[in-house]
Amino acid sequence: MSLSFVNKLLKRQRTSGSLAALPHRGGPSPLLDTAAHGQLAACVASQPDATLDELRVLLAACGGPAVGRTTVWQGLQALDLRRKKRVSTPPSGTPNG
């Protein structure tokens, strides 16, 4: 154990009376809350072929938070929306094989 860690433990014992670990503080709050997820879903519904950058701009234009591409991607994953496009051509009439 380092001296600084021991000093922190002693200070914690003096202030709180316990050496128990402090509870987790939760980290930063998410940028896309429930309302923003709804706005993102509406943006995808209005323009299903939009890229992540276009969705980011649309979300900000709809009154949502200004976020980056990664946050939009994570929001789409949370909504269980896929970014892969369906093939627009009909299937071939010839059998495979």
Residue 14 lies in a domain: no
CB 59 within 8 Å of CB 36? yes
Q: Distance (Å, rounded) from C-alpha 86 to C-alpha 44?
A: 15
In sign, the C-alpha dihedral spanning 15, 20, 21, 25 is negative
Q: How many domains does the chain have?
A: 1
Give per-residue pLDDT as tens, 23-81.
888 888 889 999 999 999 999 999 988 999 999 999 999 888 999 999 999 999 999 98
Residue 47 lies in a domain: yes
Residues of the domain holding 67: 31-82
CA distances from 55 to 2, 38, 78, 80 (A): 49, 13, 15, 16
CB 39 within 8 Å of CB 62? yes
Q: What is the pTM of this model?
A: 0.62
